[in-house]
């Protein structure tokens, strides 16, 4: 079959992250989010964790050569449309990934600086934070810290620096944009602010939801990477990804004894529920139409 008749494939996003066996955060959150938003995810595991919905009990960083080999094998085989970076596991992994992404300066890079779990378990040492600041920030299209991470990464002398000052310092360190999320701030609503070199680019306000969530930051960063891979400009990608993430949190569920998990497939369940409410005759007619359409696709009959 000639190449020009090949089916169009979805945008491809390569994510570097740690595995979360609970499926709430980390690599599993990235894969669910990217798939839900119409992308094909590629995965490079940076660390293994022992964790559930209550917190992290242990983390084992993958050897940096293995991290590099995973990524190089994928990048030599497929062309990616965006990078997303989460938990990195070690200074050596940070250095290896920084070297890899430097070979692809035109590919958007979303860096989620996960420094601690929702319970407060440390996921990045001071050396790792320093390496992230020196090696990855200068290559990031977008950095997505919460307010506590922004203050820690900016490392300003002020005891309680403003988020504006923190964002300015992080942009000065080299990243193009910074989206500071306001979940941890004492405000009636959650205010997320996107900063660029000229200052505030956009500010979005969201109703504060009632629970604590496992994987909300991973979901947001991956959703932005998906929107960038789909061709949206960055400010619009940030807006669309926030909307998706808020709805995933609104529909969150609590399968364990700890935090709620975002429902990254909420839209599919809404479609199913809406379909269940349709009259049986309408459902049967739709099924018949789909059956006819399927027989028109080459290779399905």
Terminal-to-terminal C-alpha distance of the chain: 18
Rounded-to-integer distance, Cα 247 and Cα 266, Å: 8
- The answer to whether 212 and 118 have CB atoms below 8 angstroms apart is yes
pLDDT tens-digit readout, 38-81: 999 999 999 999 999 999 999 999 999 999 999 999 999 999 99
Which phi and psi angles does 204 have, rounded to 5°? Answer: -120, 135
SS3 122: strand
Within a domain: residue 290? no
pLDDT tens-digit readout, 213-239: 999 999 999 999 999 999 999 999 999
- Alpha-helix residue ranges (DSSP H) falling in 175-233: 216-229
- Taking alpha carbons only, the member of 193, 205, 211, 203 closest to residue 250 is 211
Residues 6+ apart with CB under 8 A from 221: 84, 86, 110, 111, 112, 144
Residue 43 maps to which CATH number?
3.40.1190.20
Rounded-to-integer distance, Cα 237 and Cα 25, Å: 21
Rounded-to-integer distance, Cα 146 and Cα 217, Å: 8
Q: How many domains does the chain have?
A: 1
DSSP label at residue 63? P
- The answer to whether 68 and 45 have CB atoms below 8 angstroms apart is no
Q: Name the residue range of residue 243's domain.
A: 8-264
Dihedral sign computed on CA atoms, order 240, 242, 246, 248: positive
Within a domain: residue 40? yes
Predicted local distance difference test score (pLDDT) of residue 91: 96
Which phi and psi angles does 47 have, rounded to 5°? Answer: -165, 155
Within a domain: residue 104? yes
Rounded-to-integer distance, Cα 21 and Cα 49, Å: 7
Enter the pTM of the model: 0.88
Within a domain: residue 30? yes
Rounded-to-integer distance, Cα 188 and Cα 288, Å: 50
Within a domain: residue 212? yes
Within a domain: residue 63? yes
Predicted local distance difference test score (pLDDT) of residue 273: 73
Predicted local distance difference test score (pLDDT) of residue 2: 45
Write down the residue that tokens 């109703």 correspond to: 207
Within a domain: residue 289? no
Predicted local distance difference test score (pLDDT) of residue 115: 84
Q: What angle do CA 171, 173, 179 make, to 5 degrees?
A: 35
Per-residue confidence of the chain (301 residues) as pLDDT tens digits? 445 556 789 999 999 999 999 999 999 999 999 999 999 999 999 999 999 999 999 999 999 999 999 999 999 999 999 999 999 999 999 999 999 999 999 999 999 998 876 666 678 888 999 999 999 999 999 999 999 999 999 988 877 899 999 999 999 999 999 999 999 999 999 999 999 999 999 999 999 999 999 999 999 999 999 999 999 999 999 999 999 999 999 999 999 999 999 999 999 988 777 767 766 565 555 554 443 333 333 333 3
């Amino acid at each position: 079959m000639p190449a020009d008749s090949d089916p169009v494939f979805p945008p491809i996003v390569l994510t570097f992250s740690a595995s979360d066996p609970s499926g709430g955060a980390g690599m599993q959150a990235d894969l669910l989010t990217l798939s839900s938003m119409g992308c094909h995810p590629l995965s490079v595991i940076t660390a293994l964790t022992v964790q559930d919905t209550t917190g992290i009990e242990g983390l084992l960083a993958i050897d940096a050569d293995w991290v590099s080999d995973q990524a190089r094998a994928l990048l030599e085989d497929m062309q990616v449309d965006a990078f997303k970076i989460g938990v990195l596991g070690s200074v050596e992994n940070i250095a290896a990934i920084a070297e890899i992404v430097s070979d692809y300066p035109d590919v958007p890079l979303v860096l989620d600086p996960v420094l601690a779990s929702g319970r407060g378990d440390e996921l990045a040492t001071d050396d790792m934070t320093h390496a992230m600041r020196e090696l990855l920030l200068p290559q990031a299209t977008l950095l997505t810290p919460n307010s506590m991470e922004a203050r820690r990464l900016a490392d300003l002398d002020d005891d309680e620096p403003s988020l504006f000052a923190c964002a300015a310092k992080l942009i000065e360190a080299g990243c193009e944009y910074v989206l500071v999320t306001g979940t941890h701030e004492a405000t009636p609503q959650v205010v997320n602010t996107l900063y660029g070199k000229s200052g505030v680019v956009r500010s979005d306000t969201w109703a504060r939801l009632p629970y604590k969530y496992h994987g909300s930051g991973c979901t947001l960063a991956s959703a932005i990477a998906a929107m960038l891979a789909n061709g949206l400009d960055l400010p619009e990608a940030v807006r669309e990804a926030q909307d998706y993430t808020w709805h995933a949190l609104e529909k969150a569920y609590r399968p364990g004894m700890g935090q709620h998990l975002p429902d990254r497939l909420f839209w599919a369940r809404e479609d199913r529920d809406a379909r269940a409410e349709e009259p049986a005759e309408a459902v049967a007619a739709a099924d018949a139409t789909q059956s006819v359409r399927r027989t028109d696709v080459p290779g399905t009959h």
